[in-house]
């Protein structure tokens, strides 16, 4: 298959000990890295090889499955019970690196080759151990990542070092000439602020100010009205002393509306509610009628059990904070979610939900853990139910009692 100019440069010059391809999604960096893996199988001597990603599941999704589709399942095997797969008949250890315990998985290995996916999502101790494991003659590393804050450990430890054998390539969305122009244009419209800087321009930018700086009440707040909603769901951020939030979502003409909210603050009320009381409130909130999916804070195990006992179809939320925020921001920018003006607490949180400056100084992206209860509930719904390929059960208007 043809290469872009940036991809061709990678193939011709990626001969350093550390070859890092950083930049935006869909820019072609991961695709060309597949061919780097094949090149290393030919050029490097036999020895231990490892493939490291955020988790084994992300490696399957980002690397192994695309390579199987391109080369065939015979050429790229499944990962076996010993966490090993074979590419062109040669074994690779497959390691997830999202926590410190993953250090033990590569400790003691002498490596001739390592491939890294989503490097910025790894626990830093895994990368530090990897440095000492690339000990065979001619050993090298190829890896890809998206940009993060300038204080990130990868930026400080590798990318800005002039005394190390490092080559890096910076990919932007326009480096991929094979993408449809309409798709690129839509992406550029959907991202704003920090997300535009990182995921369109590929810059290592500090997260500061409002998390959802693209929020505009004139655009994103809608009058509460009797719309022809065709799908419904509820998302819940559970709290006892902290506020407990229910958000009702309705789909109308391609836009998800936050139709109404329930907000109970046990601390302000000076009375905590039990799981049973919250479940009663949920049934009153939904009118006792069928809801397609109810997405709940995954830590609220006892409340989930109480809802299920009452016949509610519960989906524990996917609680990936940063990827969830990124998706919500994209949906807001693309006009795919709006908030009815009756949702006063949710609307109020937009001005107070900000990035944590102290976390940024440590090289981390993290919102301040305040004024976030409605935002957490909204993120649960969007990231659990509205990711590409996720289907939401259709619920008829009559099941929901007609007008909302």
What is the pLDDT at residue 291?
84
When the pLDDT of each residue in the chain is averaged and rounded to a whole number, the result is 90
Strand 48-53 and strand 166-171: the pairing is unpaired
pLDDT digits 0-9 by tens, 159-205: 999 999 999 999 999 999 999 999 999 888 888 888 888 888 888 98
Angle at 364 between CA 360 and CA 365, to 5 degrees: 80
Mean pLDDT, residues 57-72 taken together: 94
Residue range 345-385, pLDDT digits in tens: 999 999 899 999 888 878 888 899 888 999 999 999 999 99
Helix/strand/coil percentages in the chain, nearest 5: 40, 20, 40
Distance CA 295, CA 166 (A): 44
138 within 8 A of 17, measured Cβ to Cβ:
no
When pLDDT is averaged across residues 213-230 and rounded to a whole number, the result is: 93
Does the structure show a pLDDT above 70 at 153?
yes
C-alpha to C-alpha distance for 377 and 393, rounded to whole angstroms:
19
Q: Is residue 402 scored above 60 in pLDDT?
A: no
Domain spans of the chain, in order of start: 5-180, 217-385
Rounded mean pLDDT, 133-141: 94
Domain 5-180 has CATH 3.20.20.70: no
pLDDT band of 137, cuts 50, 70, 90: very high
Q: What is the pLDDT of residue 226?
A: 87
403 or 363, which is more confident? Answer: 363
Is there a contact between 394 and 231 (Cβ–Cβ < 8 Å)?
yes
pLDDT band at 401 (very low <50, low <70, confident <90, very high): very low
Between 246 and 391, the more confident residue is: 246
The pLDDT-based confidence of 25 (bands split at 50, 70, 90) is confident
Q: 217-385, which class in CATH? A: alpha beta
pLDDT of 396 strictly over 50: no
Q: Per this entry, what is the length of the chain?
A: 404
Does the pLDDT value for residue 395 go beyond 80?
no
């Amino acid at each position: 298959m043809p290469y872009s100019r940036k991809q061709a440069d990678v193939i011709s010059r990626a001969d350093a000990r550390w070859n890092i391809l950083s930049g935006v999604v869909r820019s072609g960096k991961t695709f060309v890295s597949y061919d780097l893996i094949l090149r290393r199988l030919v050029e490097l001597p036999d020895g231990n090889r490892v493939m490291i990603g955020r988790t084994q599941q992300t490696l399957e999704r980002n690397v192994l499955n695309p390579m199987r589709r391109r080369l065939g399942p015979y050429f790229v095997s499944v990962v076996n019970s010993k966490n090993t797969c074979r590419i062109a008949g040669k074994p690779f250890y497959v390691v997830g690196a999202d926590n410190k315990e993953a250090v033990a998985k590569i400790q003691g290995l002498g490596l001739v080759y390592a491939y890294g996916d989503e490097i910025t999502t790894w626990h830093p101790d895994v990368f530090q151990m990897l440095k000492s494991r690339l000990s065979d003659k001619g050993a090298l590393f190829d890896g890809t990542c998206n940009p993060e804050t300038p204080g990130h450990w990868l930026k400080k430890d590798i990318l800005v070092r002039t005394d190390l054998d490092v080559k890096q390539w910076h990919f932007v969305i326009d480096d991929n000439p094979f993408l449809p122009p309409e798709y690129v244009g839509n992406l550029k419209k959907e991202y704003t602020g920090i997300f535009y800087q990182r995921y369109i321009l590929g810059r290592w930018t500090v997260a500061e100010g409002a998390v959802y700086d693209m929020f505009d009440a004139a655009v994103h707040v809608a009058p509460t009205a009797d719309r022809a909603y065709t799908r419904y769901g509820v998302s819940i951020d559970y709290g006892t002393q902290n506020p407990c939030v229910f958000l009702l979502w309705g789909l109308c003409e391609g836009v998800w509306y936050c139709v109404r909210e329930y907000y109970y603050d046990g601390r302000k009320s000076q009375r905590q509610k039990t799981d049973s009381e919250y479940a009663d409130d949920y049934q009153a909130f939904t009118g006792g009628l069928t809801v397609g999916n109810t997405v709940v804070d995954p830590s609220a195990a006892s409340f989930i059990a109480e809802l299920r006992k009452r016949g509610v179809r519960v989906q524990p939320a996917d609680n990936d904070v940063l990827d969830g925020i990124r998706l919500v921001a994209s949906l807001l920018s693309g006009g795919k979610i709006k908030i009815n003006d009756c949702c006063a607490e949710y609307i109020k949180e937009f001005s107070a939900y900000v990035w944590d400056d102290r976390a940024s100084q440590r090289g981390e992206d993290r919102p301040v853990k305040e004024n976030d209860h409605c935002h957490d509930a909204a993120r649960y719904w969007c990231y659990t139910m509205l990711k590409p390929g996720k289907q939401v059960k259709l619920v008829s208007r009559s099941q929901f009692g007609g007008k909302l």
